[in-house]
Amino acid sequence: MRSTQSPKTKPPRSLRSLRLNVDCPRAVVPFWLYNGTVAVSLSIKNVPEAVVGRLRERAKRNRRSLQGELLDVVERAAQDPPVLSAREVYARIKKLNLPKGPRSVDIIRRMRDAR
């Protein structure tokens, strides 16, 4: 009599190398092995030597490897930008002390009178 179980599939290579009993339906996969994401390797080609030198200096100042420093740069760049309220935008613009231009009311009146 045949079993009603589905045919066995080959486990991923990472599981096979752990020598877990993956044929057992109750096999536990360690959290560090699979957490829903897969690490991705990025590669940047043709980076100018001056840029590499500055990154190495920055990594040295921060007591990190070049790889660690690059990961920090990428993580910071990928963060969500801060959300500013209208008041915060207004306060930032006021701090710039920009020269005052003509008022919009005056511009509209001139355009209307020119008709």
pTM across the whole model: 0.42
Q: Is pLDDT of 34 > 60? A: no
Residue ranges per domain, the chain? 48-115
pLDDT in tens, 88-112: 999 999 999 888 888 899 999 999 9
pLDDT score for 12 = 56
Of 77, 53, 84, nearest to 66 by C-alpha is: 53
Share of the chain above pLDDT 90, in %: 43
Residue in 42, 70, 43, 41 with CA at minimum distance from that of residue 54: 70
Residue 12's CB: how many other CB atoms inside 10 A?
Answer: 13
